Structure 1
Amino acid sequence: MVRKMGVYAVLAYVIYGLFFYWYLFHFADSSLPFEYQGTKADPATFLNSRELMLSEEYSKIRNLLFFLSTPFEWLFYFLILLFGFSRAFKKWAESSSKYKLPQTAIYLIWLSFFAFVATFPLSYISHSLSKTYNISTQSFASWMKDELIDFWINYGTLMIIVPVLYWLMKKSAKRWWFYAWLLSVPFTLFMMFLQPIVIDPLYNDFYPLKNKELETKILSLAEKAQIPAEHVFEVNMADQTNSLNAYVTGIGSNARIVLWDTTLNKLSDDQILFIMAHEICHYVEKHIYIGIALYLLFSLIGLYLTYRIMNWAVRHFGKELKIPDVKDIRSLPLFFMILSMLMFTASPFSNLISRYEETRADRYAINMTQNPEEAITSFQELTRSGLSEVKPPLLVKIFRYSHPTMLDRISILEEYEVKQRAKNK
């Protein structure tokens, strides 16, 4: 039975992978609708033939890697349970210490190490792909350092969460999911508060904007929106990527707008001001706090569903999965697997909300700067630097895109440009 379940799981993953290969490389149509051809949203108007070819190739492979990576985690956790590795990790932990907390630490280091090794090939392929297409400029040593930082941050986080989670399971078999969620609220807020000042600097150097002339212009935009100027930072990314980006991070007094130095190097001041106005909207409309609220709502639903599915799985397949009880730490891979599945399932909804907020931010930015030409060229440069698709396939948009497609974004700006010209006549 165990061998059969393992074979079926691997076969299901292979069929899933073949489906997405067929979908992305043979079925999905990313060609531009006729009405957009020749417009400023048409990549043929701002990319050369080589860039168009590379963009199509890179996007297809990158999208395939995305759809393969998350279900691969599910397969990994399932096989870890099925073939008794989780049980072995617990035995090794119990033989190494008689105290509960060190046992948990040892179990987690084994599980984390095996997960790191299992997912490393896909991570490395993704890194190599971005290097091949000149998106990434990061050396292997630098990339490996970031991977190891990720590993230890994740391990440290698990060392806080897992002992508390299984203590709650033992104390309340029916309500642990709710108590875990209650504790996750202050923990999430605390981690978001720490993110910009503790975690992010482990990867890159952050400093106040160096260009004082640009800073003065940004100050003027920030003043209109009543946003403190000290929240504008730049970060060194040129040694890692050729892509452009800007984002909002942190909460409370640690909230800040961050610009990559690649953005500062490749875009004009007016283009950057449009991007800054976009980020300012996230402050003004409290998108960060809305995102936190939605995350906490999804996590409440997710923990409840995880509780129900875990109980069902252990009740029906506990013997095959080597899990005697939900509250036994051997069930942790099952917990991770179910939670990951639920997050993947919920991603179309969270992406839809995010795209709505990003569209509002684009409209806010163009109304504030009133410079559609610079806004359009900034999006064109973002497309070129990241070799991104202007019109991605439907499933890619649904599962991957937290921002509107460049087709949608540039089209909105073109409409604004047409209306502005009509007013000026």
Structure 2
Amino acid sequence: MDKKVMIFFSLFFTILILFILIIFISEYKNMEELREEYSYISEEAFSYKKTNLKIWAVNLILTFIIPFLILKTGLSNKIKIFAQSKTSNQFFIIAIYVLIYFLIDFIVTLPLSYYSSFVVKHRYGLSNQTFGRWAELLFKNFSLNFVLILGFTWFPFYLIYKIPNKWWLYLGLLSIPISIFVSFISPMYIDPLFNKYTAIEDKELEREIRTLLDKAGVGDANIYQVNKSVDTKEMNAYMTGVLKSKRIVLWDTTINNLTREEVVSITAHEIGHYVKGHIWKSIVLGSAFLTLILFLINKTSLWILNGSNGYFGFRHLYDIASLPLLIFVISIYMFFTSPITSTYSRKLEWEADTFELELARNKEATASSLLKLHEGSLSLPRPSKIYKIWYYSHPSCEERVKFALDYEYKNKLP
């Protein structure tokens, strides 16, 4: 293997470990500051944060180490050879490879998944899930992801083979109709596979939400409540879908634990995302951003592959054995561009917060709902600056509550 490629891998993993250390130092320092500023924060919340930090660090390392080891040990090429020994059909070769690869990934990450999503959630009183329910969702997620990943994996490799110099451009452009299609069908056909969606039981609440929809000029939208209490004690609400599939979804935990005014305020925030066109903006801008990233992924992957001098057992990017290489490089770019996507997401959240305050006109309900949502999930008022820059898709609770209470109403909707 070329010395430059070896240095590249060594340098990246060094940066990764240093980044994790910096996050731990900054987050622990931030927690000490919060202890002094907010005497009411429970030790349980701090303990939960520390536990999640450790889980985050292990997850981050596994994200890179699994594809790296499968690639470096030659296991990737061995899996391909095994698949080729079973069939000569290219689609089925890819299907067998993808199944084996993601079974390996599933088995390696299963203990951490069980610990983080079941053990820890129960330990801190945030989950209502039985082990059977947890296993059911795990199996459904794996099955659905396998089907989607198989379909997605086959097509990019076909493009890489047919148009090696421009595959990234075509794939980036095709992501727009694919995203629209997924946004349309997901609320109606995929989400109900995991939870039961029913008409909202509180008819007065439904009338108030429809009043908000009319006031915002959204038009007709379905309103559902979902039985998330079977899984969690945490709260949430969202507006999803496009065109005729648009719908507002309220977790039953949200309805049961917040006042009607607070639920209305939260719903106004979600309506704001729709009215401001955040779904469409994210699809179009996301496609442009994805195209750029795919271009960089192509260049970087080819550089590593050419520098490997056949060390991995394959020499072409269209070879299915290159999948862990592509996953590794994709993960690198997702990691380094996270501050960009997080900053953009926070911008959208500020817009939705402003819209919520103008539409619902209840600053106190907005502030109290934010506090209850965060306290109900044992979240801290704010993260450290570097963690916020890298990972926070929303402004901190501290920022949002202050913004709400200090907000001065305008005469019309923003």
The two structures share one fold, judged by TM-score above 0.5:
yes
Measured in 2, the distance between the counterparts of 1:372 and 1:360 equals: 15
* 2:203 maps to which of 191, 195, 212: 212
Residues 116-174 of structure 1, C-alpha deviations (whole Å, 9 max, x = no match) = 11122221221121221111221222122222222122211122122221121121221
Show the counterpart of 2:398. 407
> Within the alignment, does 1:71 sit opposite 2:76 as a pair?
no
Show the counterpart of 1:40. none
Show the counterpart of 1:91. 81
Residues 308-352 of structure 1, C-alpha deviations (whole Å, 9 max, x = no match) = 001100010243333321111110111111112212222211111
CA RMSD of aligned residues (A): 2.5
Measured in 1, the distance between the counterparts of 2:59 and 2:35 equals: 31
Show the counterpart of 1:423. none
Measured in 1, the distance between the counterparts of 2:225 and 2:249 equals: 5
Decide whether the 8 Å contact of 2:24 with 2:53 is kept in 1.
Answer: no
Decide whether the 8 Å contact of 1:20 with 1:64 is kept in 2.
Answer: no
Q: Which SS does the other structure have where 1:257 is aligned?
A: strand
Measured in 1, the distance between the counterparts of 2:400 and 2:53 equals: 20
Show the counterpart of 2:50. 60
Show the counterpart of 2:96. 106
Moved over 6 A (4+): 4-7
Show the counterpart of 1:153. 144
2:295 is aligned with what amino acid?
Y
Measured in 2, the distance between the counterparts of 1:73 and 1:201 equals: 29
User: Structure 1 13/72 Cα, relative in aligned 2: closer, same or farther at 3 Å?
Assistant: farther
> Within the alignment, does 1:391 sit opposite 2:382 as a pair?
yes
Structure 2 residues without counterparts, runs of 5 or longer? 410-414
Show the counterpart of 1:262. 253
Show the counterpart of 1:233. 224
Percent identity over paired residues: 30
Show the counterpart of 1:31. 33
Measured in 1, the distance between the counterparts of 2:76 and 2:90 equals: 16
1:218 is aligned with what amino acid?
I
Measured in 2, the distance between the counterparts of 1:346 and 1:207 equals: 38
Report the TM-score, using the length of structure 1 for normalisation. 0.89
Decide whether the 8 Å contact of 2:83 with 2:93 is kept in 1.
Answer: yes
User: Structure 1 25/286 Cα, relative in aligned 2: closer, same or farther at 3 Å?
Assistant: closer
Show the counterpart of 2:288. 297
Q: Which SS does the other structure have where 1:242 is aligned?
A: coil
Report the TM-score, using the length of structure 2 for normalisation. 0.91
1:412 is aligned with what amino acid?
F
User: Structure 1 137/396 Cα, relative in aligned 2: closer, same or farther at 3 Å?
Assistant: farther
Decide whether the 8 Å contact of 1:31 with 1:391 is kept in 2.
Answer: no
User: Structure 1 218/368 Cα, relative in aligned 2: closer, same or farther at 3 Å?
Assistant: same
2:108 is aligned with what amino acid?
A
Show the counterpart of 1:173. 164
Structure 1 residues without counterparts, runs of 5 or longer? 38-42, 421-425
Residues 219-277 of structure 1, C-alpha deviations (whole Å, 9 max, x = no match) = 11111012234332211100111111111222221122211110000001011111111
